[in-house]
Structure 1
Amino acid sequence: MAAQLAPVGRGEAAEAARVSRTLAAHHLDRLVEAGLLESDFRQPAKPGPGSGRPAKVYRRARGERVVSLPPRDYPALASLLAETVERLHGEQRAEQVAYEAGERLGGHGGDLEEVLRERGYEPFTEDERIRLRNCPFHVLSDEQPLLVCSMNLALCQGLLAGLGQDPARARLDARPGECCVSISKTNVD
Structure 2
Amino acid sequence: MDIEAIALLQDPVRRRLYEFVAGAGADVGRNEASSAAGVSRTLAAFHLDKLVEGGLLDAVFRRPEGRAGPGAGRPAKYYRRAETEFTASVPPRDYRGVASLLAETVAEAGLDDRAVEAAREAGRAGEREPLLDVLRARGYVPLERDEQVRLLNCPFHALAEEFPPLVCAMNLALLEGLAEGTSWRARMAPGAGRCCVALSKTNEV
Corresponding residue for residue 181 of structure 1? 197
Alignment match of 2:30 (pick from 4, 7, 10): 10
For 2:43, the aligned partner's letter is: L
Deviation of the 1:170 alpha carbon: 1.7
Corresponding residue for residue 84 of structure 1? 105
Matches within 5 A, 1:66-105: 66-105=87-126
For 1:12, the aligned partner's letter is: E
Corresponding residue for residue 33 of structure 1? 53
Distance 2:148 2:170 in 1: 20
Matches within 5 A, 1:11-160: 11-44=31-64, 45-105=66-126, 108-126=127-145, 128-160=147-179
Deviation of the 1:52 alpha carbon: 3.1
Deviation of the 1:17 alpha carbon: 2.8
Distance 1:126 1:15 in 2: 21
Unaligned runs of 5+ in 1: none
Deviation of the 1:166 alpha carbon: 7.3
Deviation of the 1:128 alpha carbon: 3.5
For 1:84, the aligned partner's letter is: T
Q: What's the % identity of the aligned pairs?
A: 56
TM-score of the two chains, using structure 2 as the length reference: 0.80
Deviation of the 1:7 alpha carbon: 1.6
For 1:111, the aligned partner's letter is: P
Q: Secondary structure at the match of 2:187?
A: strand
CA contact (8 A) 2:183 2:201 kept: no
Q: 1:18-49: CA deviations, max 9, x gaps?
A: 33322222222222122111111231433355
For 1:185, the aligned partner's letter is: K
With 29-38 and 13-22 compared, the bigger mean Cα shift is at: 13-22
TM-score of the two chains, using structure 1 as the length reference: 0.86
For 1:173, the aligned partner's letter is: A
Distance 1:50 1:166 in 2: 50
Corresponding residue for residue 170 of structure 1? 186
Q: 1:120-144: CA deviations, max 9, x gaps?
A: 1111234542221111111000011
Q: 1:52-107: CA deviations, max 9, x gaps?
A: 322211111111111222211111010011011112211111111111100011xx
How many residues were matched structurally?
Answer: 183
Unaligned runs of 5+ in 2: 1-20
